[in-house]
Amino acid sequence: MEEEVKHVETKSTKYDEGDIQVLEGLEPVRKRPGMYIGSTDVRGLHHLITEIVDNSIDEALAGYCDTIQVILNKDGSCTVIDNGRGIPCGIHKTEHKSAVEVVLTKLHAGGKFGGEGYKISGGLHGVGLSCVNALSKWLEVIVYQNGKVHEQMYRRGIPQFELKVTGDTTTTGTTVTFMPDEEIFETLEFDYQTLKNRFREIAFLNRGLTLSVEDRRGEELVKDTFHFDGGIVEFVDYLNKNKEVLFPNVIYVDVTKNDCEVEIAFQFNTGYNEIINSYANNINTEEGGTHLDGFKASLTKIINDYGKQNRILKESEKLSGDDVREGLTAIISVKLHDPQFEGQTKTKLGNSEMRKIVSDAMTEKFGEFLEENPGYARELVLKCVNASRAREAARNARENQRRKGVLESTTLPGKLADCTNKDRTNSEIYIVEGDSAGGTAKQGRDRRFQAILPLRGKILNVEKATLHRVLESGTIKDMITAFGCGISSEYNEEKLRYDKIIIMTDADVDGSHIRILLLTFFFRFMQPLIEQGHVFIAQPPLYKVDYNKQTYYFYSDEELNAKMEELGHPKVTQQRYKGLGEMTADQLWETTMDPEKRILLKVTMEDAIEADEIITKLMGEDPDIRRDFIEKNANLVKDLDV
């Protein structure tokens, strides 16, 4: 036994030149794909398309491409077509092979480094196309250039033949078709809606560009084409289309300085929420950065200065950033030669010069707007003053609640059945509709790590409420206290008491309404919960079928019908669950709460723009918009339980 231990120790401490592994060509990408595309899940899968499209966008930014097509093919592959100059086809002078093959097989090879090929570019700076090639089962590239059609095929990154001429052409451009590799990715199914949303965004950011996405996988062709001559001005109009705006025209700022282009479009609405999306070279800088800092600081200063100069504000009054951004919808898009990204997800712009360039642009253009439109300017400042007063009232309400021990109390809500485990990473809380279902859930749960918080009735629709009213809601106060992390600007991730917050409501209209009310609250006041992946939706079964001493549960009509067809329609006992309270504690555990068997849907911020639009439509003040939405989508409802 001692000899065996010694042998293991000797082997584990040995480290010499034999342990140094040299990975050739694209091997590093296949060995560690997450290092290059972030993940191998559905997000990483879609990132492959984004990388190819980014190359086409670079051609558009350089002025050589105005049309990009993305096609989802029947066999599961994807094709990206552009009408740019085409990847260079000549022989590379040091690599002694075609430039196409160099770009597709060498990491950090491309026209983005010296500054001559592209002054502005996004993507992975020469890594993108070779990464897609490395992570594809096969990839075909067709280049239209100099009157000739050039083609080459690859399998898992390895060229099957040299680039060859296969015909004549009068056009230019590049077509890439690739099949994701099942050895790499957890799923191979592209989501059309995800791609549609992303390409709409890209088209907004690049005015004049035509970008289409089509899905040929089903029986009928699905296609969307995006083209916006107004660019980000139309983007703001799109975001504000269901909101009451403060003044009709979108304010537009467009400045070029030191080879940096700054575009800003913004408009105020009468709502309470702000939407600011910032981009650098078409990349969504989700963590902000210097361009966003410059915008926010200048906006606050300009409005304060105008208010005091025109005696709308007293000398002692000072509006905060939160005050001036209430009801603001803004797009900030900068394009620069050498973007420096930082932050946890590398989506925070770090170029220090952008702060001043954006600030100066805002001071000049927005200052002009206020001077030329005194009526709108006064209305805006007064709106900000009202926001400040409402914020002060909410602050006082928070302090009152705090003094009463509601927001920071160690005394948890009386209805909460807490779990015994105090380790947040292994704890979860179910938000359950009604006392009856709450009682069943309490009996069926594993009390070691599952907490239950029953809600009585429907919670407040926070889309129509000020923060002051939100804090007066007993149901919402119970949730805030149970979660422990605070809300809005006082949200603190470290104080969150549960890793998973699971919404569990009945599978009927009322249950759906309660679910959307809860999601609206999380989206507007506890958005980091969604961003950090803490919010889930439980999926209780719709049907229970007993047959031949066996019990089956089904979560959709399709599942039920498929099983009934398999069983040949024998005599079965079938039950349609309309509420959680119809289940026994054991059934609820087995179908909906057991981590080994349950189905949970994670709520994500994958498309915050569309989420904001839908929440505004469904939960906002305008009943006509809501009625129109219902009429347009009523045909999607197959079975309605009222």
Which residues are identified as catalytic? Answer: 433, 506, 508, 510
**Cβ neighbours for 636, distance < 8 A, ≥ 6 positions apart:** none
- Give CA–CA dist 75/179, Å, rounded: 9
b/e sequence 468-482, b meaning 16+ C-beta within 10 Å: bebbebebbbbbbbb
Judge residue 149's burial from the number of C-beta atoms within 10 Å of its C-beta, 0-12 exposed, 13-18 middle, 19 or more buried.
middle
Q: Which of 176, 164, 172 is nearest to 129 (CA)?
A: 176
Cβ atoms 335, 257 nearer than 8 A: no
Nearest to 323 by CA among 392, 230, 406, 231: 392
Question: Where do we find the tokens 């451009």?
Answer: 173
Rounded Cα distance between 402 and 409, Å, is 8
Query: Where are the alpha helices (H) located in 310-429, listed in sequence order?
Result: 321-325, 353-372, 374-403
What distance in Å separates the CA atoms of residue 450 and residue 498, rounded to the nearest whole number?
9
Local structure of 329: helix, strand or coil: strand
CB 40 within 8 A of CB 185: yes
Amino acid identity, position 112: K
590: Cβ contacts below 8 Å, ≥ 6 apart: 553, 597
Reported as half-sphere exposure (CB side, CA atoms, 13 A), residue 277 has a value of 20
Q: Which helix (H) or strand (E) holds 142?
A: strand 136-145
Q: Please give the C-alpha separations between residue 525 and each of 271, 455, 462, in angstroms, as whole numbers.
A: 14, 18, 9
The 8-class DSSP code of residue 493 comes to: G
Q: Judging by beta carbons within 10 Å of its beta carbon (0-12, 13-18, 19+), is residue 171 exposed, middle or buried?
A: exposed
Strands 428-433 and 500-504: parallel
Q: Rounded CA gap, 197 and 70, in Å? A: 13
Which one, of 55, 46, 69, 66, lies nearest residue 128 by Cα?
A: 55
How far, in Å, CA of 48 to CA of 136, rounded? 9
Strand pairing report for 164-168 and 275-280: unpaired
DSSP per-residue letters across 86-135: ----SBPTTT-SBHHHHHHHSTT-SSSSSSSS-SS--TTTTSHHHHHHHT
